[in-house]
Every structure is written in structure tokens, then in C-alpha cells.
Amino acid sequence: MRTKLLMAAALLATASHAHAANPLRDAIAKDMPSLIEIYRDLHANPELSFEEVKTAAKLAAEAKRLGFQVTEGVGKTGVVAVLKNGAGPTVMIRADMDGLPVIEQTGLPYASKVRGVSKSGTETGIMHACGHDTHMTAWVSTARQLVANKDKWSGTLVMILQPAEEIGAGAKAMLDDGLYTRFPKPDYAIAFHDAAQFPAGTIGYQSGWALANVDSVDIKVKGVGGHGAYPHTTKDPIVLASRIVTALQTLVSREVDPQDAAVVTVGSFHAGAKHNIISDEATLLLTVRSYSDETRKLLLDGIRRIAKGEAIAAGVPEDRMPVVSVNEAEFTPATFNTSPLTERVASLFKKQFGEQRVIETKPVMGGEDFSRFYLADKANVQSMIFWVGGVPQAEMEAAAKSGKPLPSLHSPYWVPDAEKVIATASEALTLAAMDLMKK
């Protein structure tokens, strides 16, 4: 730990040396002990989706102290903090608040020991394994810096804390609860996510599609059960479901345009109870990913067609065709970064952080319900989400040498270099907001 801190300090020193006068960076660095205290408290006390009660209360209090007009309970546990500062555009900055049902294994002195009950009813540990604690701390830091620099910008700042990102429901809940009608609607919506594949302090961005459509699909494959020794008297749902799994692989390889990205993953296959019984049902759980509406439709229609087609080929009776259900409540639409905003902000970042620290990255097949803030009013809202790398430099190098993969987001071992993520993200968010609301 100590060497890590010394190294981080040395890197920070080099960084500030490279860019001579940088009052914003200096102000954030000066505030870092207080920010790290907030971070460690959030990290040690994670709360699950839509249960972010204490988290929301702590941060709402901080925003009130800073002079924001604060409304709590927006979309169950969400918080909206508004600061009107003269004429000009409205900029919305979002952080998400929820932790995950993961038992933390980092061994950090401030590791979470919190336990709870997950949505599926199992008792579990809870951990900020996605780094939403860094998002919230950077949100506080950004609010502080924008208040301190109030004389340099003019417009309306809307800072929101979103619940339940991990279950893809929080953004929708806030919008359904009047985020764009009870509060100033943003011209620009901005957010960042920490990243487990980039070195700490690096910024990644992309114009256009950034994250994918995420669909959860259940397939109930019905058969006709019986004795394992007499298969000719049955319709084996395990053999049928296996064929469906295999045939599904051709959707991406044979039906989607090779230039278009798509994923069909069968993440769960459950059937049967005993060696010598042919069950009468098998259940498949799929995650289906795409960018465009057209590809999404092609995949979902294809899944229904393949399931039914394979059942017919297996001779399953008409009244026992597979049941394919797409879970619309859990759907997360693809995230789109509008290019005028993205290009403007990226060039600003390059000027501030240098070309090496700001890299254009490829879109990913993960999902983010930040997408909904743009989709709720595509004609009037521009939006951008960017990545801030969190992997400590030393670990990045060690992994490159050993070839051992680094922990990903959602891993019980994920430890971002919080200081660097918070410093970089809040400098970037503050800078972007001040530029968009320039006097």
C-alpha cells in the first residue's frame, strides 16, 4: 500500500510538472484527503439497487451544504441537485449509486463487510465492485469545483445521483418520476465510468455507439418426459435444448451482417433431476446484445424461429412448443454518444490532459442505462459517457509481463486506483461543464 501511494504521488508530481499552471488540478489535489475519506466511507457501506438510502442521504446533504436545491426520492432513491447560475444552457452530470451482490475479496482495510439479500432472495455480501463509489466521489468533487468557480460559468447545473444502474432500472425510474418535467431538462448529459482495462488516469471515449442493447431472454423448452431407459417413448428436452443452443450460434455467424456487432450468449441451462429420468422441461437463459434496433429485432425474431423450428424437427407435439420470453422490464437500450458533444469534449480533454492520456476506444457490448437520458428526448439532448481508467500502473505492467488477466469490473478483486480515477474524472467533468456553460 505504502509503495503504491508513493508511486501515485510521484506520478502526480510529474503530471503537474508537465502542465505548469493548472489551478483546477491543484484545487482537486488539495481536496483529495477529504474526497478519499468520502470514498472509503462509500466503499465500506455499499447498498444494493433501489436500496441506496444512506448513500443518497449522505450525498444529498453534501449538495445542500454547497448551495444546491436538492430533491430526494426521485425514482425511489434518486437525488436531483440543481444550481441555477444565470442564463445559459443546462448541463446534467450523473453518477450511479448502487453496489453489487458480490462478496468483497480485496483485503483492503476499508473493504466492505456488508451483507444483504439479493433480488433472487439469496443472502450475499455487497460490494462496490463496479466502482460506483468512485463515480459518486468524483460527483462530489465536481460539484465542489463548479461551486468554487461559479463566477466563470453561466447556466443551470443539474447534478443527479441515479439508483439501480446494475439492474438497468434506475434511469427509467427517474425519468418516469419527472426528471425532465419537474426539473430543468438538460441540453447536455454527461457521465463517466471507471474502466478495468485502461491504466489509471487515462480517458477513453468514442463517438456514436458506446454500449450495447441488452436483452434478457428466457426459453422454456418443453418435451415429453419418461424413463431414461426408454427414450423412444419420450421427447427429450435436454437433447432438443442442446440443439437450440448450437443452432443459436448461427445467428451471429450466419445472419447478422459481419460489419455489425452482436452477441447471443446462453448463460444458463437447467434441466432434469436424476440420472435415469428424462425430464419434461429445460430452461435456457440468454443475454442478447446489439447496437441498432434492426439487429436487435433480427436476433430476437431469430431466437423465436430457431426454438420453434428445432422443436418441430424433434417432433414435439404442437401444444408443447418452446416458450420464448423477452424480459422487456430488464431491457437496457444501447448508449449513443452524440458526436458534436463528444468531439468537442474530447478535444478539450486532449488539450488539458495531453494526447497520450485521452484515447479513442472501441464501443463495448456491455450495457448502461445512461442511454435513457438521451433517448428520452433525442431531438434536444446531447449526451456523452466516457471511461476513466482505474488500473494501477504497476499492476498493468505486472499483468503484461506475466500474462495473467487483470480483475474486471464486477470482480470481487477489483481495486481501482481511486485517487487517480476521482482526480481525473472530476477534473474532466468540471472542465466539460465549464466549457459548455462558458460565460
Stretch of residues binding Zn ion (CB under 5 A), selected from 28-36, 125-133, 224-232, 322-330:
125-133
**Interatomic CA distance for residues 133 and 60, integer angstroms:** 15
Q: Which of 165, 281, 419, 427 is catalytic?
A: 165
Collapsing DSSP states into helix, strand and coil, what is residue 215?
Answer: strand
Grid coordinates representing 414 are 477489483
The mark string for 75-114 relative to Zn ion (x by CB under 5 A, - otherwise) is ----------------------------------------
Q: Among 429, 393, 422, which residue's Cα sits nearest to residue 134? A: 422
Burial of 327 (0-12, 13-18, 19+ CB in 10 A): exposed
Pick 142 or 335: Cβ nearer Zn ion: 335
Pick 131 or 302: Cβ nearer Zn ion: 131
Known catalytic residue at 165: yes
CB of 227 to Zn ion, least distance (A): 45
Q: Which of 62, 98, 215, 280 is catalytic?
A: 98
**Interatomic CA distance for residues 176 and 74, integer angstroms:** 9
**Interatomic CA distance for residues 135 and 96, integer angstroms:** 7
**Residues touching Zn ion, count (CB under 5 A):** 1
CB of 211 to Zn ion, least distance (A): 10
Pick 130 or 189: Cβ nearer Zn ion: 130
Q: Which residue is at the shortest CB distance from Zn ion? A: 130
Pick 130 or 346: Cβ nearer Zn ion: 130
The mark string for 259-298 relative to Zn ion (x by CB under 5 A, - otherwise) is ----------------------------------------
Q: Among 224, 258, 211, which residue's Cα sits nearest to residue 374? A: 211
User: Does the protein bind Zn ion through residue 130 (CB under 5 A)?
Assistant: yes
Pick 15 or 92: Cβ nearer Zn ion: 92
Stretch of residues binding Zn ion (CB under 5 A), selected from 116-124, 129-137, 221-229, 305-313:
129-137
Q: How many CB atoms lie within 10 A of CB 297?
A: 11
User: Does the protein bind Zn ion through residue 210 (CB under 5 A)?
Assistant: no
Pick 130 or 415: Cβ nearer Zn ion: 130
Four-CA torsion 375, 388, 156, 352, nearest 10 degrees: -130
CB of 131 to Zn ion, least distance (A): 7
CB of 380 to Zn ion, least distance (A): 26
User: Does the protein bind Zn ion through residue 240 (CB under 5 A)?
Assistant: no
The mark string for 390-409 relative to Zn ion (x by CB under 5 A, - otherwise) is --------------------
Q: CA angle 351-152-379, nearest 5°?
A: 75
DSSP class of 321? -
Q: How many CB atoms lie within 10 A of CB 323?
A: 14
Q: Among 333, 321, 397, 406, which residue's Cα sits nearest to residue 369? A: 333
Known catalytic residue at 98: yes
Grid coordinates representing 262 are 452482436
**Interatomic CA distance for residues 310 and 325, integer angstroms:** 17
Residues that bind Zn ion (CB under 5 A): 130
**Active-site annotation, residues:** 98, 165
